[in-house]
Structure formats: C-alpha cells, structure tokens
Amino acid sequence: MHLPNMQDAKKRKQEKVNYIYEKPVVSDIFKGKKYYLRTYGCQMNVHDSEEIKAILESLGYAETNVFEDADLIILNTCAIRENAHDKVFGFLGRCKHLKKIKKDLLIGVCGCMAQEESVVNEIKTKHPYIDIVFGTHNMRELPSILENLNNHQNIEVYSKEGDVYEFGNLYKRDSQISAWVNIMFGCDKFCTYCIVPYTRGKQRSRKSVDILKEVKELKEQGYKEITLLGQNVNAYGKDLDGEIGFSKLLEKVSDIGIERIRFVTSHPWDFTDDMIDIIASRDNIMPYIHLPLQSGSSRILKLMGRRYTKEEYLTLYQKIRDKVKGASITTDIIVAFPGETEEDFNDTLDVVDACKYDGAFTFIFSPRVGTPAALMKDNLTIEEKEERLHKLNEKINNYSNESNQKMLGTIQKVLITGISEKDESKVCGYTENMKLVNVEADKSFIGKIINVKITDAKSFSLDGIIAE
C-alpha cells in the first residue's frame, strides 16, 4: 500500500518527537485551548487516545467532553470494516458544520483510517475543512504537527512503521483502577480479510524490561488490574532476538503481584501449552480468554490464511477448558466470507455449538481495499448475509445467556470499577472471568475487589449483592 507523501519513519528526526516526552512544554499558542477527542475501534485505539490526550495536555490544551466547546477536534479512527469509515465521515459532517460558525476550529483525523491511501485522497479532494491528518506511526509527532500549521491541509502519514521507542509512559489514563499496557504493535499474520497489518505495520514487540517496568509503576500507583495489549499477544517476542516469549512474560508480570492480569487478543496458531499452564497456575492471571475463531469451516479458514483447521481449534479450545478452571472464552466470527457456502456456515454453527461461547463479536465480511480477500468473489446477497448473521447471533446469545445463568447463586470476586450505567444507586464491575455485574453497594467500594453473590442473570450482565 503506497501513501502519497510516503516517508520512512526510520528517517525522521528523533529530536522532533523526543522533547515532549522529556520535558513537557506548555506553549503559549495552546494554553487555555480545549480539545475534544473521539475514539473509534479497538482497545489499541482507546489506549493510543490516552497517549494523545497526555501529549495535548503537555502542550497546554485541556479536555472538553462538549464538542461545540472545542478549539481542536481529533478523531482517532478505525479501518477494520466499512461501517467504521461511514461513522467517521458522518461525524466529520457535524465538525464541518461547527467550523462554519467557529472559524478557528481545528479538525484532525488520525488512527487506522489515516493510514489508508483511499481515505487520504478522499480527505484531500472532498474535505478541505480537515486541517491535520496523521497516522498510527507518527502519533507522537503531534506537537510539531500542531506547531507547524499553516493555512493548508497538513497531511503527515508514514507508510512504514518505525522502531519501538520508549519515551517513558506518558498517558492520561481513563481509569485509575484498570490500565492498558502495550506489549506489541502491529501484526505479521496477514489474515486475508484484515487491514491491520497494513494500517498498524509489522509486528514489533516492546522489550520485556520496559513492559515490566511499566507494570511495576502501575502497581505502585495503586492499579488493581492491567490488560496486556497486542493484535496477537501469543506471538509476543518472536520478532526480537533473545527476547522471552509470551508465557514467560505472563509469568514475570504475574510475579510483580498486581491483583489482576488480562490480555487481548490471542491467535490460536501461536497459543502454546506452556501459555495455558501459566494461565491455569497463577491466581492473578484472570481466567478469561478471547480466542477468535473467524470461521468454523477448515476450507474458509484456509482461504482466510488463519493457519488452523476446525479440528485444531477445537482441540486447543478443549485444552483451555480442561486446564483453566471456570474460564470464560469469547470469540470473533466473520460470516459471509467470499465463497462461504451453506455447508461452511453450518461448520461455524457446529463449532459454536461445541464451544458454547460466553460471548462473541460477530461480523459480516467487509472487503477492505488492499487486502487479498477484497479481490475474492462475493457469492451472497445482503439479505442472505444478514440472515446468516442473525442465525449466528441467536445461537451466540443463547449460549451467552446460558453461561450467565450458571453464575446464579455463586459468590464471585468482583473488581468494582464505577457507578452502574443502568442504575445510579448501584456500582458495577467485572468478575474474574469478565462478566459484568451490577452490585447493590455504594461508591466507597469503587477500586476494591469484593465478594458478590449473584442474584440475577441476564443475557449481557449479572446482578448481585455483597456476600456475607
């Protein structure tokens, strides 16, 4: 994939990036100004936004949640499916309107969509009101991008990832209880439908010493939970000479003694027995595994480039179930991949019946420009695709409801993270196996892990009371 103003990130001047991390400079240009940041997509984007916020606040900007009050609006975008694109351009329409009233308003687009050549061209030709565009590889250059603004659109997107630089951990974290920790960036798997290896680059693991240092700092700051983040966490370290692998990393992170450790996302192909053993043997590694299936048909899995068969997936699944007691397993499934027959789809339903997932994210295949699957022949009408998705969702919801019902009457350790969204007189949090519970308890429990008796189970959440 070639981007118009292609530059190699490796050639960039590092000083340009460094200064903000070493000595935050509140600049007179930005002091007192407000930014509004909207995030689309996955946890990586959510965590990147925590870094963008810290960068902006180092410059003197303050955050606002009221979009009309902003002097700078930034959209951190997702490219995984076509509907993400539509949502972003829908919101940009509102920004354009606001700019008619507020002439000095700055509008920026960053994240995965900014790495797509077609999107950059669309912005250049049809959206002149967008002031800045920067990609996933040069997010940390935002200060200089803002300082060097002129009256033209400033598009700075690198087509290639650079090395992983450690700058100290400059984040404005959304939570003081639970924190994201990057362990790697990018992905080398190149599943044929997926745009991530193009938008996020090749796999680059962080050094384990840096990850462990960050986790220690988080523990010292009082964090109760961390989630290790990567597109394929099981492949951690494989790109670094002499680095430890994921199971050893889990062990070392667990030794630090933070109460709860989670990780997303796993790839079945890189999931080894020693990873399962360490998850099973450590109390502070949570029994929750997100194990994307994508399809239950070995034929489709091959076309997707997933590197496992239906049978191999089921064997791995069973190993995890047998060893990690009380684990929740969730998944991602794509329906209507090009060429998917009724028989292939039934294979997917079969696997869902065998695995009885605790939950799943399900999607209709969305062709992404530049990926091999976008060139494969589509064989279904939109109605047929939706019918498959509907059928799959019904099954998934039944099993997810069933697994929640099994929790009824049990006592669960719940990390209380905030006020319940459904009922302000309650608090909410997650069980060790990642079930959302609304608990009859007051705010003083926020940030604590408490024993909760489950009194009601719904399809997507549980209710509970403090256990005696």
Which residues make up the interface to ligand 5AD (CB under 6 A)?
80-81, 193-194, 292, 294, 332, 334, 363, 365-366, 368
From the list 286, 227, 254, the residue with the least C-alpha distance to 414 is 286
Q: Which residue is nearest to ligand 5AD (CB)?
A: 332
Residue 407 binds ligand SF4 (CB under 6 A): no
- Closest to 190 measured CA to CA, from 423, 372, 403: 372
Q: Which of the ranges 61-69, 87-95, 168-176, 187-195 carries the binding residues for ligand SF4, by CB under 6 A?
A: 187-195
Work out whether 196 is an interface residue with ligand SF4 (CB under 6 A): yes
Angle (deg, nearest 10), helices 273-281 and 246-256: 10
| Number of alpha carbons in the 13 Å side-chain half-sphere of residue 414 | 31
Give the H or E element holding residue 89. Answer: helix 82-101
Burial grade of 349 (CB within 10 A; 0-12, 13-18, 19 or more): middle
Decide: 412 and 450 in contact? Cβ < 8 Å: no
Question: Candidates 33-41, 48-56, 182-190, 278-286 — which segment interacts with ligand SF4 by CB under 6 A?
Answer: 182-190
Distance separating alpha carbons of residues 55 and 57, to the nearest angstrom: 5
**DSSP SS3 for 59:** helix
Stretch that binds ligand SF4, among 59-67, 121-129, 192-200, 379-387 (CB under 6 A): 192-200
**What is the CB neighbour count within 10 angstroms for residue 272?**
13
**Measured between alpha carbons, how far is 157 from 134 in angstroms, rounded to an integer?**
5
- Residue (165 or 190) nearer to ligand SF4, CB: 190
Question: Which of ligand 5AD, ligand SF4, none does residue 363 bind to, with CB < 5 to 8 Å depending on kind?
Answer: ligand 5AD
Q: Which residues does residue 456 pair with via DSSP β-bridges, in sequence order?
A: 463
Least distance CB 375 / ligand SF4 (angstroms): 16
Q: Which is nearer to ligand SF4, 167 or 190 (CB)?
A: 190
For residue 336, the minimal CB distance to ligand 5AD (Å) is 9
Q: Is residue 204 helix, strand or coil?
A: strand
The two tokens of residue 446 are: 């926020």
Residue 190 binding result from ligand SF4, ligand 5AD, none, given CB thresholds of 5 to 8 Å by partner type: ligand SF4
The residues pairing with 428 across neighbouring beta strands, listed in sequence order, are: 418, 438
Say if CB 213 and CB 256 are below 8 A apart: no
Answer positive or negative: Cα dihedral of 188, 174, 72, 141.
negative
Quick check: 229 binds ligand SF4 (CB under 6 A)? no
Taking the complex as a whole, how short is the minimal distance between the CB of residue 292 and ligand 5AD, in angstroms?
Answer: 4
- Piece of 165-173, 191-199, 238-246, 281-289 that binds ligand SF4 (CB under 6 A): 191-199
Q: Is the peptide bond before 265 cis (omega within 30 degrees of 0)?
A: yes
Q: Running DSSP on this structure, what letter comes out for residue 311?
A: H
Query: Which residues face 464 on adjacent strands?
Result: 439, 454
Regarding 291 and contact with ligand SF4 (CB under 6 A), the answer is no
- When CB distances are held under 5 to 8 angstroms depending on the partner's kind, the choice from ligand 5AD, ligand SF4, none that residue 96 binds is none
Q: Is 189 in the site for ligand SF4 (CB under 6 A)?
A: yes
Query: Could you tell me the smallest distance in angstroms from the CB atom of residue 267 to ligand SF4?
Result: 5
Cβ proximity to ligand SF4, 227 vs 431, nearer residue: 227
Rounded Cα distance between 60 and 68, Å, is 19
Half-sphere exposure of 82 (CA within 13 A, CB side): 8
By the rule CB under 6 A, 234 interacts with ligand SF4: no
Judging by beta carbons within 10 Å of its beta carbon (0-12, 13-18, 19+), is residue 307 exposed, middle or buried?
Answer: middle
> 146 - beta bridge partners?
none
Tell me which of ligand SF4, ligand 5AD, none is bound by residue 366, counting a contact when its beta carbon lies within the kind-specific cut-off of 5 to 8 angstroms: ligand 5AD
Q: Which stretch binds ligand SF4 (CB under 6 A): 151-159, 183-191, 276-284, 446-454?
A: 183-191
Q: Is 396 in the site for ligand SF4 (CB under 6 A)?
A: no
DSSP 232: T
Residue 232 interacts with, from ligand 5AD, ligand SF4, none (CB under 5-8 Å by kind): ligand SF4
Residue 162 interacting entry, from ligand SF4, ligand 5AD, none, C-beta within 5 to 8 Å by type: none
81 binds, among ligand 5AD, ligand SF4, none (CB under 5 to 8 A by kind): ligand 5AD
Q: Which does 231 bind (CB under 5 to 8 A by kind): ligand SF4, ligand 5AD, none?
A: ligand SF4
| CA 385 to each of CA 194, 207, 245, 297, 391: distance values in angstroms, whole numbers, following the listed order | 19, 43, 39, 16, 10
Rounded least distance, CB 332 to ligand SF4, Å: 8
* Nearest partner of 211 among 257, 258, 253, 176, judged by Cα: 253
The only residue of 187, 264, 320, 336 in contact with ligand SF4, by rule CB under 6 A: 187
Question: Does 143 help bind ligand SF4 (rule: CB under 6 A)?
Answer: no
- Closest CB 284 distance from ligand SF4, rounded Å: 26
Q: How many residues form the binding site for ligand SF4 (CB under 6 A)?
A: 10
Question: Which stretch in 153-161, 184-192, 212-220, 391-399 sits in contact with ligand SF4 by CB under 6 A?
Answer: 184-192
Q: Which positions lie near ligand SF4, rule CB under 6 A? A: 187, 189-191, 194, 196-197, 231-232, 267
